[in-house]
Structure 1
Amino acid sequence: MWALLRTSRTLKYRGIGVRASRTGCAKLEILSCLEDNAGVLEPRHVNSDRSLFLNRFYNTTSDSPRSFRGMCSFSSQAGTKSSGEEDDDLEDGFSELETPVNADAIQADKEEDENDDELVSEPELSGEEDNNVDIEGPQNELELSETETDVSEKRSPRKRAFSALFKAIMAAPGISIHNSLDKWVEEGNDVTRADIALAMLNLRKRRMYGRALQLSEWLESTKRVDFVERDYASRLDLIAKVRGIQKAESYIEKIPKSFRGEVIYRTLLANCVVVGNVKKAEEVFNKMKDLEFPTTSFACNQLLLLYKRIDKKKIADVLLLMEKENVKPSLFTYKILIDTKGQSNDITGMDQIVETMKAEGIEPDIHTQAILARHYVSGGLREKAEAILKEMEGGNVKDNRWACHSLLPLYAGLGRADEVGRVWKVCESNPRLEECLAAIEAWGKLKKIEEAEAVFDRMQKIWKKLSSKHYSALLKVYANHKMLAKGKDLVKQMGDSGCRIGPLTWDALVKLYIEAGEVEKADSILQKAAQQNQMKPMFNSYIAIMDQYAKRGDVHNSEKMFHRMRQVGYLARLRQFHCLIQAYINAKAPAYGIRERMKADSVFPNKALAGQLALVDPFRKTAVSDLLD
């Protein structure tokens, strides 16, 4: 395995030479695979008096991957537990209070999401905006004791698991649910951990974090349950989502010291990653080191996710830290690295990482295969893509039904309408919601609008009330094909059905009007949505409009969008500055103070951005200006 290393130099920490042991070979192999055109430079020698201080990482940035979606769920190793070490990852039901009733309840709940309100997920491992490969998935399904799993056993496996507590919360009028819960208990209802688990799960699925937080507060204030560390971590996570990182950080001081363990700080760390707050994420990571918590793959993977979006050069430093601390890469670690190489069109490097992963005894799962297939498709490697898709099918797609929702859009990406039809035929007689959504996307990619509409019609017949997530799938197809009239009709149909419209729908509407050339209308829709709703529009929605203004050289409106993104909570990063500076370039106008603005936001130019800055520098010298001087 050492053959992959470019050099066998000694890495120094604290002045002591630390050489890679056999257990660290895989990490250094990965590192060598990342040291070329993926934008990840050769690892730097780091002098530190505390393992590897992240606040001493070099402040240089590389090309950022395509903008990431802002309305995301908890950003962690979703569904990637390969060795059991991540059994307390944080997502839907990561605390003991929020433990799903049992695996069957969760699976049925996922498959038959009949009344799902807006669910928006950030494809952490995707540079593609319309990627159907669900990499993140659910992260943690802790088991309750057998005495607490009776709730779902009496229901049909195709019915959603709703607890009585959840129904009481949903029926509560007004903003506060405390009085309604008090009344519900006075009526003789018991509060069990199983009920709490399902209530929390369903509230999180609907992104109703405000009510979930109120439930957590009510449980503690009424002493209905004895809180343990994971329950405090659940509260911390909800506070971060509802009130922001600063309030969450303050809440930690209120947690009893005996419960301020690693899970508390890793919850805060992951929420810092969600909002892209590099400085705070690094501070939290170093705080965990100060408190002498063990360095885990979870914490390191959070940093890899963050740097993958914002500064790929720092990925090498995290891998070196993992090597030094003897932190074994998890399946999720490899997924991040594979996707990083794929985004950089380095297929050879991507394949090398896969071989390293297999050499370490970790086989690619369906999600990893889907990532590989997607990058093979985008790289024009049809044979390799088709080979891995057949591998995903496992010889008989009927026996591997769970792979269908990934296969459909991937075959569509290859232009294989025949294969899309074959896979959809397996699902058509008894489809699942995620398969229908994938089929709509696939037919849309193949420009077969009637087939996409037929799938949507079938969804409406099977599930009487669809959510905006499901309408948005067809709305995206209309947007991609500039079918404005049909898009408007579908939105009207959504409104007539009483469907709740949220960020995913706004994003599709924005794209619909942009494709129709009505940028100002798209801008107006997004502004109204942000003002009238408590949910934050998606990052991509703002960027899509800002890109259009930049193309026109409309500096005023580009600056306006930049400001509005900051107002709703999106930190300024390379992507926004790229777009803003392009507006100045197209307007042939100087950008006074732009470097100072970037410095204030801790944004440091990469090569591409530096080239843009030179074009808008009001004090730059040219051959003509030299003559005039």
Structure 2
Amino acid sequence: MTGGSRVCYATLEISSQRLKGHRDGLKGASNVISHSPLTFGGFQITSHGFPRLFTEIRSFSSQAGTKSSEEEDSNSDDGFSELESSTATEAIQEANKIGESVSEHELSEEDIDSGDVEAPQELELSDTETENSKRKSPRKRVSSALFNAIVAAPALSVGKIMDKWVEGNDVTLAVVSAAMLDLRKRRMYGKALQLSEWLESKKQLTFTEKDYASRTDLIAKVRGLKKAEDYIGMIPKSFRGEVIYRTLLANCVAECDVKKSEQIFNKMKDLELPLTCFACNQLLLLYKRTDKKKIADVLLLMEKENVKPSLFTYKTLIDAKGQINDISGMEQIVETMKAEGIEPDIHIKSILAKYYVSGGLNEKAENVLKEMEGGDIEENRWVCRILLPLYAALGRADEVDRIWHVCGSNPRLDECVAAVEAWGKLHNIEEAEEVFDKMAAKWPTLSSKHYSVLLRVYANHKMLSKGKDLVKRMADSGCRIGPLTWDALVRLYVEAGEVEKADSILHKAAEKSRMRPMINSYLVIMEQYSKRGDVHNTEKIFHRMKQAGYVSRISQYQCLIQAYVTAKAPCYGIADRMKADNVFPNKGLANMLAQVDAFKKNAVSDLLD
């Protein structure tokens, strides 16, 4: 890496508390950021170095709250996947797209062969702007022959399949690229890792930094962050550059591991690697989920190092503002973005519409939706799948019916899924079932993912009997039941008041499958036990989440401590547990801790007992 391309992180370092100064530090941080592309309304730096409007944030945003699973889903899948990836044509560049941007409806649980089955990950994976936001509809691709060969023999290792493959086929960059892209697209990370390992061991291809980055990403997804970090130490030093470490950083952020993410970011600084918008966006994404007060520190760092924000940067900031219902701040960011010559894409508009709806600004929401439609909805057919659930959230059954009419004669799979969800939100179960039946008739081999959409509708309406019948129909159709179905089943039984049954289903599923349940599945059960003051079972679910590899967050501790509060029981050692998990109490959690502490017995209470 040439010295001319090196950007030092001159004055700031991320710590577990905030950004720290090194040479001239943050002495000037009390000034409001101004006269720069990072003058985002509402994100100004105060005298304490924190954004003024984020001091009251009490919990995580999208992936780990104690709110309902339906709300969790809407936050983690709100019309856009927080992936920023280039559509490279070179084979190795294609093969090394870390977390290819994929419509969730193109994935099936039959395809998942790793534990990475949370809601779609919010990773931004390239410094170039995504072309997915620029093209009007996803490009249809034909699966590669090599990928088909791997899928056709699921019991065989990829190494054995490749040994046979080379007997009559060439292993070219294009072949490997297409297969790797298909494997990643379907989240078959284990198979993709085996393919990468075979290629290197057989010296079929000359590995570049991007190939090593791809391997690092796959190891992190399949074997964990520690193994991925160990692998980096084995990569030739000449290839151990910014791409490698940002890949590890992205995976740390995906796990919401604040401490590890900050360590990797600081290591990149110590190695004098270039400070890219990608790395900064990862921190923004992390703090959007965990501690919005730190967002301003990252923006200050970007300003000081002259790092220009990308479209993904604006998406993240707009979403962060929307999550705290700061509509004016959200709109200010949009205006700043436009002033910088960046027009909101369809996904940003869908975010705006979502938060206008949640904020009760229905007229503004409808204006955005009409703008998304464009002059001719039939010409802009691809946007229908985004509009359907948004109009449903507005309660506009007439608009849902109008949009569905555009699709109804020859619907696409993702449009059907969106329509089932929309009619479910509108409590029109018959219409939802009718759309599902049409979908099942047109695509007889639906995956369990598609069944889960209707199953969630039944769960939200406490229709336990219909839910059971649908699960039986899934089994009869040959669907492999996985995390998405488990999540829907858990909610189905929880909504019906059968929490213990939901707990049992989830426990059996986790024991018998290599796939880990979604974090929401644990949270919805844990929340019910907490409300009851059932300390034993709340602790049990808390422990199982850790066993499954989920990082403990403020929301889990809030739920856990609430169980003790409800039970009026002391919670000994909880502060030490939080410290060990690198979780620091916010104002709300501190108040709860004080309540629990008040229940501690003293000598007098012992005598009275």
Q: Same fold (TM over 0.5)?
A: yes
8 Å CA contact retained: 2:30, 2:48: no
Q: What letter matches 1:375 in structure 2? A: Y
Alignment of 1:154-165 (within 5 A): 161-165=142-146
Match of 2:450 in 1: 470
Question: What is the root-mean-square deviation in Å for CA atoms of aligned residues?
Answer: 3.5
Q: CA deviation at 1:519?
A: 0.4
Offset, 1:176: 2.4
Distance in 1 of aligned mates of 2:129 and 2:158: 27
For residue 365 of structure 1, the aligned residue among 338, 345, 358 is 345
Q: Deviations over 1:451-476 (max 9, x none)?
A: 11111111112222011111111111
Please list the CA deviations of residues 238-258 of structure 1 after superposition, one character each: whole Å capped at 9, or x if unmatched.
000011001000101111122
- Contact 1:80–1:139 (8 Å) recurs in 2: no
Q: Is the CA contact 1:240–1:268 (under 8 Å) kept in the aligned structure 2?
A: yes
**CA shift for structure 1 position 185:** 1.7
Q: Deviation at 1:487?
A: 0.7
Q: Does 1:178 align with 2:159?
A: yes
Q: Output the CA distance in 2 between the equivalents of 1:418 and 1:214.
A: 50
How many angstroms does 1:311 deviate by?
A: 1.1
Question: Does the 8 Å CA contact 1:24/1:323 hold for their aligned counterparts?
Answer: no
Q: Give the one of 268, 278, 284 matched to 1:304.
A: 284
Report the equivalent of 1:42.
46
Cα distance in 1 for partners of 2:90, 2:549 equals 26
Deviations 1:220-241 (A, max 9, x none): 1112211111111111000000
Equivalent of residue 14 in structure 1, options 17, 20, 23: 23
Q: How does 1:134-533 map to 2 (within 5 A)?
A: 161-172=142-153, 174=155, 176-186=157-167, 188-533=168-513
Note the C-alpha offset of 1:198.
2.3
Q: CA deviation at 1:80?
A: 6.9
Whether the 8 Å CA contact 2:125–2:278 is kept in 1: the answer is: no
Q: Which amino acid aligns with 2:407?
A: C
Q: Give, in whole Å, the separation in 2 of the partners of 1:97 and 1:282.
A: 28
Inter-partner Cα distance in structure 2 for 1:326 and 1:493: 57
* Contact 1:436–1:459 (Cα < 8 Å) also in 2: yes
| 3-state SS, counterpart of residue 25 of structure 1 | coil
> Which residue identity lines up with residue 614 of structure 1 in the other structure?
A
Q: Call closer, same or farther: CA 1:290–1:138 in 2, change over 3 Å.
A: closer
Aligned-pair CA distance for 1:174: 3.0
TM-score (ref. length: structure 1): 0.81
User: TM-score, normalised on structure 2?
Assistant: 0.84
In the superposition, relative to structure 1, how do residues 371 and 286 fare at CA in structure 2: closer, same or farther (>3 Å)?
Answer: same
How much does 1:342 deviate? 0.9
Relative to 1, partners in 2 of residues 1:205 and 1:593: Cα closer, same or farther, differing over 3 Å?
Answer: same
Contact in 2 for aligned 1:338/1:354 (Cα 8 Å): yes
Q: Which amino acid aligns with 2:147?
A: F
Deviation by residue 1:195-241 (Cα, 9 ceiling, x = unmatched)? 22222222223222111100100111112211111111111000000
Aligned-residue offset at 1:62: 4.1
Check the 8 A contact 1:94/1:141 in 2, yes or no: no
Letter in 2 for 1:171: A
Cα deviation 1:374-400 (Å, max 9, x = unaligned):
000001001100011111111221121
Post-superposition offset of 1:585: 0.9
Q: State the one-letter code of the partner of 1:96.
A: Q
In structure 2, runs of 5+ residues without a counterpart are: 1-19, 65-71, 132-137
How many angstroms apart in 2 are the aligned matches of 1:613 and 1:590?
10
Q: Does 1:63 align with 2:67?
A: no
| Aligned 1:23-42 pairs, distance under 5 A | 25-30=35-40, 32-34=41-43, 42=46
Q: How many residues align?
A: 559
Call closer, same or farther: CA 1:15–1:303 in 2, change over 3 Å.
same
Report the AA paired with residue 482 of structure 2.
Answer: G
Whole-Å Cα distance in 2 between the matches of residues 172 and 307 of structure 1? 42
Q: CA deviation at 1:68?
A: 0.5
Could you tell me how far 1:142 is from its partner in structure 2? Answer: 10
Rate the CA distance shift 1:194–1:112 in 2: closer, same or farther, 3 A: farther
Do 1:591 and 1:617's aligned partners in 2 also have CA atoms closer than 8 Å?
Answer: yes
Name the structure 1 match of 2:119.
122
Paired letter, 2:58: D
Partner of 1:149: none
State the alpha-carbon separation in 2 of the partners of residues 141 and 211 from structure 1.
28
Asked if the contact 2:255–2:550 (Cα under 8 Å) also holds between the matched residues in 1, the reply is yes
Contact 2:393 2:425 in 1 (8 A): yes
Give the letter aligned to residue 183 of structure 1: K
Which residue identity is paired with 2:95? E
Identity fraction in percent: 65
Structure 1 pair 299–547 and aligned structure 2 pair: CA distance change class (3 A): same
Counterpart code for 1:517: G
Could you say if the C-alpha distance between residues 376 and 45 of structure 1 is closer, same or farther in structure 2, counting changes exceeding 3 Å? closer
For residue 26 of structure 1, report the CA deviation from its aligned partner.
4.3
Contact kept, 8 Å, 1:549 with 1:557, in 2: the verdict is: yes
**Would you say the 8 A contact 1:44–1:317 is kept in 2?**
no
Q: 1:614 to 1:27 in 2, by over 3 A?
A: farther
**Aligned partner of 2:185: which letter?**
K
Q: Which secondary structure does the structure 2 equivalent of 1:500 belong to?
A: coil
The residue that corresponds to 2:93 in the other structure is 96
| Worse-superposed segment, 475-484 or 173-182 | 173-182
CA gap of 1:241–1:140, structure 2 versus 1, over 3 A, is: farther
**Further displaced range: 18-27 or 395-404:** 18-27
Q: Secondary structure of the residue that 2:166 maps to in structure 1?
A: helix
CA distance in 2, matches of 1:160, 1:87: 16
Cα distance in 1 for residues equivalent to 2:149 and 2:569: 58
Structure 1 residues 224, 313: CA separation in 2 closer, same or farther (over 3 Å shift)?
Answer: same
Judge conservation of contact 1:118–1:468 (CA < 8 Å) in 2. Answer: no
Alignment partners' CA distance in 2, 1:589 and 1:266: 44
Aligned partner letter, 2:24: G
Q: Report the CA distance between 1:259 and its aligned residue.
A: 1.3
The answer (yes or no) to whether the contact 1:308–1:340 under 8 Å persists in 2 is yes
Mapped to 2, the partners of 1:142 and 1:308 lie a distance apart of 21
* 1:330/1:20 CA distance change after superposition, 3 Å: farther
String of CA shifts for 1:464-513, please: whole Å, max 9, x gaps: 20111111111111111111111111111111111121111111111000
